[in-house]
């Protein structure tokens, strides 16, 4: 069967920093902090990939195909499909990438022309929690499917399901999406912005993914507390007994 999908019209021990992407065989997954304007370093700990997010910062998910074939990328953020707003399963809608193509996903898809920004937020302000699904906050995943080869004849097109725009969470103001100290970090439902896509059909070669790429995230403080990132070394305090000058008024 064919499914209605979306294609972007535009373009062991303490963790160590890797290149700024989670490496897969078919696709590289990375996160770019749009507020501070830099890619988030990826840390590897016990075979898992992690990034440290900054509460209140907008971000985008970058998908970079390493395959010479068309790919369907079903994107899950906090266990929720970034296109439909449904609790994610492999069979749902995703983004279609041409061979060796790269694209950015800016947020929760609201229509063919707009998204609600991804923004790092306290778990209580996350889209998942606001829609009653906080159990998988803190993870970004992409399930990848190859396209089934076209038959020599042209079959009748059949749409198996349609992606429904993600429902809006309760009034979410990006300026309010600031994490509390120690609280797990999630992804909020930020302000809307223009991000055009087009609809295409894609017939999967298999019902199960050819690859799944997973990237975990939390605040730096929480990753340090969990032993995933090393604590930053503080410089020892060395007071100077002879700093010079005269005695000022207290």
Statement: residue 39 has pLDDT above 70: yes
For the chain, the C-alpha Rg in angstroms (whole number) is 21
- pLDDT, tens only, 74-102: 999 999 999 999 999 999 999 999 999 99
pLDDT of residue 24 exceeding 60, the answer is: yes
Question: What's the chain's average pLDDT?
Answer: 83
**Per-residue pLDDT at 15:** 62
115-136: buried (b, 16+ CB within 10 Å) or exposed (e) per residue?
bbbbbbbbbbbbbbbbbebbeb
Close Cβ partners of 55 (under 8 Å, ≥ 6 residues apart)? 120, 121, 122, 177, 178, 179, 185, 219
Bridge partner list, 194: 114
**How confident is the model over 155-160, as a mean pLDDT?**
33
- CA dist 216 to 28, 50, 128, 223, Å? 14, 5, 15, 10
CB distance 184 to 62 below 8 Å: no
Are 187 and 128 in contact, with CB atoms under 8 Å apart? yes
- Pick the closest to residue 119 from 79, 167, 194, 60 (CA basis): 60
Which residues have C-beta within 8 Å of that of residue 127, sequence separation ≥ 6? 78, 80, 108, 166, 169, 172, 186, 187, 188, 189
């Amino acid at each position: 069967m064919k499914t209605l999908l979306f294609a972007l019209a535009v373009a062991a021990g303490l963790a160590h920093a890797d290149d700024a992407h989670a490496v897969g065989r078919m696709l590289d997954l990375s996160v770019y902090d749009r507020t501070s304007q830099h890619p988030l370093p990826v840390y590897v700990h016990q075979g898992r990939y992690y990034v440290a997010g900054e509460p209140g910062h907008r971000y985008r998910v970058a998908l970079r195909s390493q395959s010479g074939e068309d790919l369907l990328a079903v994107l899950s953020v906090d266990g929720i499909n970034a296109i439909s707003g449904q609790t994610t399963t492999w069979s749902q809608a995703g983004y279609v990438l041409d061979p060796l193509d790269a694209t950015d996903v800016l947020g929760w898809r609201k229509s063919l022309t707009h998204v609600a920004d991804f923004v790092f937020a306290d778990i209580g302000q996350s889209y998942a929690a606001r829609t009653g699904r906080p159990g998988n906050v803190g993870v970004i995943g992409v399930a990848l499917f190859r396209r089934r080869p076209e038959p020599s004849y042209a079959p009748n097109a059949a749409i198996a399901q349609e992606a429904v725009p993600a429902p809006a969470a309760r009034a979410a103001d990006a300026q309010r999406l600031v994490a509390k100290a120690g609280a797990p970090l999630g992804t909020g439902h930020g302000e809307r912005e223009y991000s055009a896509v087009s609809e295409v059909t894609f017939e999967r070669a298999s019902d199960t993914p050819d690859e799944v790429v997973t990237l975990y995230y939390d605040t730096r403080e929480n990753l340090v507390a969990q032993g995933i990132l090393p604590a930053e070394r503080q410089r020892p305090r060395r007071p100077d007994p002879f700093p010079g000058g005269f005695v000022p008024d207290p």
